[in-house]
Amino acid sequence: MNTNALHGHMDALLLSVLEHEPLHGYAIIEALQERSGGALAVPTGTVYPALRRLERAGYLAGEWATVGGRKRRTYRLTGTGRTALASERSAWREFTAAIGSVLEPRTR
């Protein structure tokens, strides 16, 4: 899938992946690939700046942890992040409904 198609949706994807458990950056990338059935191969150069931006916005909290013997920055969703995720999901449902009604109009 073309990563340009993800423009504007990366925040929602990252927040969603972190909804149930804290993960480090590479594990987030793997989760995106796994959840999408391999369709989303998001480059690290896209994910890490977005994670830092979401952390600065207060949607994520990051802390250093040792994972598999390596020191990694692990991110978890904050309460503000959960609210933002709910808003992103609502906006996504409205967006897909509107686009779907144009691309696949019902016959009357």
Q: Which two tokens stand for residue 50?
A: 């977005």
Q: What is the average per-residue pLDDT within 74-84?
A: 97
Which amino acid is residue 4, in one-letter code? Answer: N
Cβ-proximal residues to 25 (8 Å cutoff; 6+ apart), any chain: 44, 47, 48, 51, 72, 73, 75
Is the distance from CB of 54 to CB of 15 less than 8 angstroms?
yes
Is the distance from CB of 80 to CB of 59 less than 8 angstroms?
yes
Dihedral of the CA atoms 76, 82, 85, 86 (nearest 10)? Answer: 160
Give 30-74 pLDDT, tens digit per residue: 999 999 999 988 888 999 999 999 999 999 999 998 878 889 999
pTM (2 d.p.): 0.86
Mean pLDDT lowest for which of 2-16, 20-34, 74-88?
2-16
Give 87-107 pLDDT, tens digit per residue: 999 999 999 999 999 999 886
C-alpha distances in Å from residue 83, one per residue of 26, 64, 72, 86:
24, 24, 26, 5
